[in-house]
Each structure stands twice: as C-alpha cells, then as structure tokens.
Amino acid sequence: MTFAAKLKGPGWYRALLSVPLSLAFSTALVVGVRALYGWDPLFDGEAITTVALIAMPLAFLVGIGCFDYWFYWAAGKPTRDEDHSGHGAKTWKDYFRVNTDHKVIGIQYIVTTFVFFTIGGLLAMLIRAELAAPGTQFVDPNTYNGLFSVHASLMIFLFIIPVFAGIANYVIPLMIGAPDMAFPRLNALSYWMLPMAGIMMVASFFAPGGAFATGWTAYAPLSTEVPLGQQFFTIGVQFAGASSIATALNFLVTIITMRAPGMTFFRMPLLVWANFTTSLLVVIATPFIAGSQFFVLFDRALGMNFFNSANGGDVIMYQHIFWFYSHPAVYIMMLPGFGIISEVISANARKPVFGYRMMAFSLCAIVVLGFTVWAHHMFVSGMSAWLRVPMMITTMLIAIPTGIKIFSWLATLWRGVIHLTTPMLFALGFITMFTLGGISGVMLAVIPVDIHVSDTYFIVAHIHYVLFGGSVFTIFAGLYFWFPKMTGRMYDERLGRMHFWLSFVFFNLTFGPMHLVGVDGMPRRVADYAAEFATWNAVISVSAFIFGMSYLLFLYNMITSWRNGPKAAANPWRAHTLEWQVSSPPPLFNFDEIPTIVGGPYEYGVPGAVHGVFKKPEPVAAASGGKE
Amino acid sequence: MRTKHPIIQMLLIGVVASVAGVALALAIDWFPIAASTAAAPIDELYDVLLIVSVPVFVLVMTVALYSVWRFRAKPGDQSDGAPIHGNTLLEVVWVTIPTIMVSALAVYGAIVLEEIERPAANAMEVEVTGQQFAWSFEYPDTPGGEPVQSNELVLPLGQQVHFQIKALDVLHSFWVPAFRLKSDAVPGITTEYRVTPTKEGRFDVVCAELCGLGHTTMRQVATVLPPAEFEGWLAEQAKQSEPAADDTMPASATDEEEAQ
Ligand SMILES: [Cu+2]
Ligand SMILES: [Cu+2]
C-alpha cells in the first residue's frame, strides 16, 4: 500500500494526520470568529483549547475509521457487502484498530480501563503520601486538589463504569446465545470514545493552572471559575458519557432481540438481568450529567449564567441535576457486579441461585427506587428542607432489595459444595465489605448523622467500601472467573489467592479507620489536617501502600498467565451458562451450532438438568423430537 | 442429628459475636468534644445505629463463614449441592424484618431532626459569611442597635443562636464539629441552622465544602463565653467599630452601650 493510500484509508496514519488538522481548524475558527467580532486578543488560548478539546477527539475517531461505513452509507453509495474483515483478531495488531467483534471490543475495554485504573491508583498513592503526615510533604494545595479530582474521575468514569461494559461486552452475547452485539459498529465507536475521555482527563495535569481541582463532583460555581484544567473534565465527561449511553442502548437491543430460542427473560442468567437493568439506568440518567457539564461549559466558555447567582443563576440546581445522574450512577457501578457475584457464587457453591425471581425483581426495584433518592447527597446543601425526610425514607428503603440480594447469596452458599477458588474468595470478600458499605449507607441516610459526617472522611470510607470493596472486588471476581474463557489460558491460582488476602486485609486497614477520623471531625478533600489525626493517617497511608502493591500481584498474574499460562478447558468451572459450552476462547461468531435453551441457568444438583442444548445442523428433526 | 445443630450453633456464635461487636463499637471514642444541645441526641442516634448494625453484620458473616467451614468441598469432590431454588417463608421474613427496622430508624431519625432544629423564642441572630478563604460574622442585634462585624465567632453559653449563612464567591460549608452541625454557604441564597452551645471553650470552625486553593486552611475558632462575658465582648466590639458607625448614627448608640 502506498503512503497516500494509507493516509486515505481508516487507521492510525489517517488518525494521526486528522488530529493536527483539527487543531489547525479549531485555531482558525476561534481566530476567525474573534476577528469578525473585533475581539482582542485574536489568539485566545483558552477558547482555542476548548474548541480543540471537542474537535480533536472527533477528528481522531473519524481518522481511525469509526464512521467510515456510516459515511459511505449516508453518502448514498452502492451497498457494500459486509465481508467481516473488521471482525475478530488474528494478531495483537487487530486489538489496535476499529474492530467489530464484541470479544475483541470487550478485551479492548478491559485493558484500556485497567490502564486508567493503574494511573488512578498511582494518583491515590500520591494522595496517601501527601497525607502520611500533617503539614505539606511534597505537593502544593492546588496540585493536591488535582490529584484527588483526577483520581476519582478516572476511577469512576474510566474504570468502574466502562470495565463493567467491557466484561459484559465479552460475556453477554455468549450468555444469551448471540453471535455478537446488535450494533457492532456502534459498539466499536463506544469503545473508541473512551480513551479520548481518559487521555483528556490525564492530560489536564499539563494545562496551565494545573489539573481540574474541583473533585469528581465539579460543583458550580467553583467549577465555572477555576483555570482551564476544568475544561478537560467538562468535555472529557461528555465522551465517557456518550460512550456509556451508546453501549447501554446496544445492550438493551441485544438482550431484548437476540436471545437464543427458548431463552425467556426468566431463563436469563442474572448477569444478563443485571446488565439489562444497568443499561436502563444509564440510558435514563446519563443525559443528566451530560446536561450538568454542558451548563458548566456554557457558563465558562460562552458567558452564560446557569450557575452565576449574581445574574440569576441557581447554584443548587447544579447539584440536583448532577446527583439525579450520580446517585443512579452508584447502581450503574453496582448492579453489574451483583450479576457477576450471582454467576460466581452459584458455580462455585454448586447450587442454584436462591430465589432467582426475587433476585431479578430486586434489580428492577433498585432501578426504580434509585431515581428517588438523589437528594440524600444534599442534606446540608441548603436545598428545600422538606425534601430531606422523604429522601431519607426512600434511601433507607433501598436497603430492602439490597438486603434480599445479600441474604439470597448467603442462602445460595447454604448446603452447597463450596470451592474456594480466587473468584469465589473475591465474591465472599465482596459480600463482607459491601454489607459494611451498605450499613454505613443506611447510617448516612439518617439526616442528623449525615449533617455531622457529610463532607468528612466517613464519606470517603463509605464510598470506598461500596465502590472498591463492592464494585472493584466484583470486577476482580469476574476477571478471574472469565479469564480462562477470554484468553484460553488459566491464571495462577496461588497468586490469585495471595492477591485476594493481601488486598482484603489492607483494604480494610486503609479504609476502616477513615470512618473513625471522619466522625471525629476530619473533613475530606484537604491537603493537611489537625495533629490529632496524625496517627490514624500514618496507619492509613502505610496500609494504602501495601494495598496498592497487592495490585501488582494481579497485574503480574494476568500478564504472565495470558502469555504462557496452562491451556484452559472450555468449562473449567463446570458452569451451566452458555458461554462455558463453547471453546476457550470462543469461535469467531461464538456458536457453530445455534443453542436452544431448555431450562434455567443454574440447575446445579438437579439430575440431568441442562441450560441449553446444541443441535447439530443435520439430525435436527430426530434430536429435537426426542428432547421436546 | 448433625443437621439439626447448625442453626443452634450459629445462633450461639452469632449472639456472642454480636455482644462482643456491640461492646467494641461502643467502646470506641468516636466523637469529638460535645458542645451543643444537638450533640447528645446525634451521638445517641449514632450509637443506636451501631447497636442495630453490628448484629446485621454479624449475621451475614456468621452464615457466610459457617457455610464456608461446614460445606467446603473436599479435594476432588465433583458433586453438586442441594438443588434448593428458594423458600417463600424465608424470603418474606427477610423482606419484612429489614422493612420494620429501617422504618423504625427513619422515624427515630426524623424525631431527632425535629429536636435539633426546634427554634427557641429568644434565639440570637448571627450572620455568617463565607468567602475564599475565611469566615466573617455579623451580630445584627446589639444593645446599641448597630450591627457588629467580627472576624471571630463568639457565642453566649446556653443561648440558642440562629445562624444565617451566606457565601460571597463559591460554595463553602460552615461546620463546627463540636456542635455536630453544618450547612453549606451558597452564593445567592441564605441558609440557616440553630445551635445552643452547652460548653465554654474554643472550638474549631471548619470549612467542609471544597472551595478552592485555600480550602484546607479555611479554619477558624468559635469561642463560647458565659452570657455576661459575651455581652461584654459584644459591647467592646461595638465600641471598636464606633468610629465607622459615627458617620451614620451619632450619639445615642454610644450612650446605651455605656449604660450596659
Ligand atoms: Cu446516593
Ligand atoms: Cu472550603
């Protein structure tokens, strides 16, 4: 291929050419408009950066080839038959291009999100280093505010939310007996938007004035007044949000329309239910955070007054819109994990999930209730006082469907045959810590307690029990569980267990004491603290460093096992769901024979029970006659 | 006969662990010094939440650990567990009991909320203004009738204070951990809460809402004085601001102050 052809066709050459072109375009646009208006100076760095932050990622996406097929189609050119040349991976290079295979996209998602998890973790280590002793250690307050803001934003928007999308991308089509997702090209676009958001947020450290430093909550009017770095968050969130909405639509359509014959809703594995309900949350809630950040962007870039009280803006409105997304976002980060835990526990306890229907209904109840509690984040915000008690009640009611799930998992363990594999250990660790996070959540719902502990380290402790002890432990459980399916190799069980025990112990030593210092009066988001908190903070920092190091065991295990771990069997867990009935890794289009679902997904211990049967194309008539 | 024992065994373990857990949770010195009438009911509420929470956690842990110990697969065991799909009675129980528990706690929380926010007839007004990165205070009702501005917060012991909180630039949050109460300071609106100090002394005033570069250092001190000393302080402040006040309001104010 000639160089010119390479530049014309989709791929990295065209992408790397279109990015500088879009920067030039952004500069010209800003300078042109400013010249027309007669504004001085012509070169406004902040305005150019703002336009470029929108234009450059879009140009990259066009260049790498996310839109080629749609442009071709929209231009009315003759139909091109799909040759599936963009589908699947033969070499590692196929992971670095626009790929429409859900299995490739799933791995792209997982690897990318773990890159950002690693960066976010390093930022956490810096935070704990600064807080190891009172006084200033090595960062100034502005840098410190940037550290925790970028840490939280990466962990939430670039790790927990999208890594679940990655795991589901890989597993869901296999679980429901589909050859791929409903919209493979949209799926590819969803993935490629993600690194755009992540790179933008990390790059904010290089912005004049430092990284965005207003927390992941970006409360106005601070976020409309701080330096340029904020724009990297405001716009980055739009790309992450668009990615997540597109993926959620894809999951909804896939799950509704592409289930194998015989798979009724009540024969779906609970991970499928979990992603179905999560996707509903994403589609309904995510536009609200997009809105809140657009308003901040308009205030900043266009001089509007959404949150400028001097000109009639409403500061509290920001928080209502933000939390109308960000509370449901807690469940966006939790429900997929609930699904993973149901799969892992049933397979490793060799028992049907206890109360399957209640497990599914409780997911739906959480979706509905999840939209009625957002203002529990605002008990001290100065919002209408009467709203507090109803929001306390709805918040506490969520403990009921959540309790159903925990009790049902416990009942699933009861009289099982329990195999303490690494994923099972993480599932049990999850139950422990998520219960604690749920309990502190109920405490926080009680308004008088919240008035005292809101904006303290009690909140930091609570969110990490829910999002790390909760979500991240389910992510580890899921990755160990499906690692053999995804890579065709087995991870090192001994290292996996070490990873679990180290992270379990030092997680608790890191975040447990934070409850105490929080109630005792240490506010969050501070670079320094009163001397009375010094001992606990030293303990927390040392634990955090060991906790951080335990993650290296995981990385080492994943990388070396992927390269040369022992070959995995198709079904190492003897699980019943469909993804385990095909080879590891699965064939290009997942199923060489179409499965028919004949029973529930977890019929362990029921003699002769199977979830799906595979009919050979020829003897169809005879076989199906016998079965049905 | 072994099959009958597990529940009783677990119950025993659970009760012992709950008692130990509650004792441990209550032995921890959780709270900062208590210096307002809101502190006692809030601390008590927190303790009750601990007492209720510990058995819930112990229940979950006991069942999980007991199951792992009792039902763990022997090496090489490829069998499946008992094919139990559910139990309606059990599911009704674990919906009903938590519902009752959280409802009771919500009612209790609402009662405490009403108690700590109840206005007193003789409440003294204090205006609190947050700006990057300091708090300032205004006492509108002085003996001289002239509002007093102050950069330090001084309060009379045993008298309810009604804070009216404003912000000049971005969000702040006005928190005195010893009082257990806080409210955001919000540009464009006035927020409020009420405090009745119950202890003399100096207590930290902390900004609890991220407000920018100097957020960490946005800390001041609240001093609680006996009422007579407080009156003296207020009069002193009024006198100090006198030259400025003189321009607008001559003579009479000064007379009344001296009479005090
Ligand atoms: Cu919430
Ligand atoms: Cu502050």
Cα B211 to ligand 2 centroid, rounded to whole Å: 4
Do A360 and A463 reside in the same domain of the chain?
yes
Do A27 and A135 reside in the same domain of the chain?
no
A125 token code pair:
């280590």
pLDDT at B2 over 70: no
Tokens 């929209």 -> residue: A74
Assess if residue A605 is contained within a domain: no
The angle subtended at Cα A292 by Cα A290 and Cα A294, nearest 5°, is 65
Cα B167 to its chain centre, rounded Å, is 21
CA distance A96 to A191: 11
The pLDDT value recorded for residue A616 is: 64
> Are the beta carbons of A308 and A224 closer than 8 angstroms?
yes
Host H or E run for residue B18:
helix B5-27
A117 token code pair:
């998890």
**Closest Cα to residue B67, out of B16, B4, B13, B10?**
B10
CA distance B177 to B33: 8
Cα A330 to ligand 1 centroid, rounded to whole Å: 7
Do A126 and A60 reside in the same domain of the chain?
no
**Count of domains observed in chain A:** 2
Do A517 and A418 reside in the same domain of the chain?
yes
pLDDT at B226 over 60: yes
The pLDDT value recorded for residue B5 is: 78
Do A160 and A295 reside in the same domain of the chain?
yes
Residue A92 carries which DSSP code?
G
B93 φ, ψ (degrees, to nearest 5): -60, -45
Cβ separation B81–A215 shorter than 8 A = no
Question: Is B209 within 8 Å of chain A by CB?
Answer: yes
Q: Give the orientation angle of helix A493-519 with respect to helix A534-564, to 10 degrees.
A: 160
The pLDDT value recorded for residue A83 is: 76
Number of Cβ within 10 Å of residue B227's Cβ equals 12
Assess if residue A585 is contained within a domain: no
Cβ separation A392–B110 shorter than 8 A = yes
* Cβ-based contacts under 8 A for chains A and B: 253
Do A110 and A69 reside in the same domain of the chain?
no
Question: Is B99 within 8 Å of chain A by CB?
Answer: yes
Give the end of a domain, one of A577, A592, A621. A577
Do A480 and A514 reside in the same domain of the chain?
yes
The angle subtended at Cα A410 by Cα B21 and Cα A110, nearest 5°, is 105
- Looking up residue A431, the CATH number of its domain turns out to be 1.20.210.10
Cα A444 to ligand 2 centroid, rounded to whole Å: 21
For residue A221, cis peptide bond before it (omega within 30 degrees of 0): yes
Give the DSSP per-residue string, A110-136. Answer: HHHHHHHHHHHHHHHHHHHHHHTSSS-
Give the one of B32, B78, B170 whose C-beta lies nearest to A221's C-beta: B170
**Closest Cα to residue B112, out of B25, B166, B48, B160?**
B48
The pLDDT value recorded for residue A620 is: 44
CA distance B51 to B36: 24
> Are the beta carbons of A144 and A130 closer than 8 angstroms?
yes
Do A109 and A38 reside in the same domain of the chain?
no
> Are the beta carbons of A605 and A350 closer than 8 angstroms?
yes
Fold topology of B124-241: Immunoglobulin-like (2.60.40)
Looking at this predicted complex, what is its ipTM?
A: 0.91
- Band (pLDDT 50/70/90 cuts) for residue B251 is very low
The pLDDT value recorded for residue B255 is: 40
Residue A261 carries which DSSP code?
T
The pLDDT value recorded for residue B4 is: 56
Assess if residue A403 is contained within a domain: yes
Do A38 and A175 reside in the same domain of the chain?
no
Give the end of a domain, one of A577, A596, A613. A577
Tokens 């300032």 -> residue: B136
**C-alpha R_g of chain B:** 28
Assess if residue A200 is contained within a domain: yes
Do A61 and A193 reside in the same domain of the chain?
no
Cα A337 to ligand 2 centroid, rounded to whole Å: 35
> Are the beta carbons of A489 and A566 closer than 8 angstroms?
yes
Give the DSSP per-residue string, A514-535. Answer: HHHHHHTTPBSS-S---GGGHH
Do A365 and A458 reside in the same domain of the chain?
yes
Do A192 and A244 reside in the same domain of the chain?
yes
* Consecutive 10-residue averages of pLDDT for chain A (628 residues): 82 94 97 94 93 97 93 84 83 93 96 97 96 90 95 97 97 96 96 97 94 95 94 97 97 97 96 97 96 96 93 94 96 97 97 96 96 96 95 95 96 95 97 96 96 97 96 97 96 97 97 96 94 95 97 97 94 95 92 91 92 70 41
> Are the beta carbons of B34 and B199 closer than 8 angstroms?
yes
The pLDDT value recorded for residue B260 is: 36
CA distance B249 to B256: 13
Assess if residue A297 is contained within a domain: yes
**Closest Cα to residue B233, out of B173, B118, B154, B165?**
B154
Expressed as residue numbers, the domain containing A292 is 99-577
Cβ separation B113–A214 shorter than 8 A = no
- Residues from chain A contacting residue B57 (CB–CB below 8 Å): 435-436, 439
CA distance B229 to B156: 8
CA distance A229 to B180: 35
List, in sequence order, every residue forming a beta bridge with B172; answer none if it has no partner. Answer: B185
Cβ separation A225–B187 shorter than 8 A = no
